[in-house]
Amino acid sequence: MPNPTIFHNPRCSKSRQALTLLRDRGHEPTVIEYLKDPPDAATIRRLIDLLGGRAIDLVRRKEALFKELGLADKADDDDALIAAMVEHPVLIERPVVVVGDRAAIGRPTEKIAELLDSA
């Protein structure tokens, strides 16, 4: 199994739970603190592809900034949402775990367990 990568926010309890799950399963993942080291548009596009969804699936829709920027009106505009996530990485849903050519958002944490079990 390839080494997992986690897009992590240490202040987020779900993100901390995901990191603990990975380590409890014997993995020492590559940890990307995406608020300190924001991903570029190409990385975000790759995550969306690995998740098998659309840009809106990777956006924290309950984040106040989502509403402030009027992003609900752009839910079908992947380019606009990706640009917003690049400019404001706080909008990126967390945690995201990547294993090889697959990814999962760890909400709930069981999705990461499923990802690991199927890898």
Active site residue 63: no
The reply to whether omega before 89 is within 30° of 0 (cis) is: no
Tens digit of pLDDT per residue, the chain (119 long)? Answer: 789 999 999 999 999 999 999 999 999 999 999 999 999 999 999 999 999 999 999 999 999 999 999 999 999 999 999 999 999 999 999 999 999 999 999 999 999 999 999 97
Helix, strand, or coil here: 60?
coil
Q: How many domains does the chain have?
A: 1
Q: Report DSSP letters for 40-57, one per residue.
A: -HHHHHHHHHHHTS-GGG
Containing structural domain, residue 58: 5-118
**Residue holding tokens 């967390």?**
94
Q: Which of 12, 56, 65, 86 is catalytic?
A: 12
CATH of the domain at 108: 3.40.30.10
Q: Identify residue 63 by its one-letter amino acid code.
A: E
**Residue holding tokens 């956006």?**
59
Q: What is the pTM of this model?
A: 0.94
Closest CA to 28 of 20, 38, 17: 20
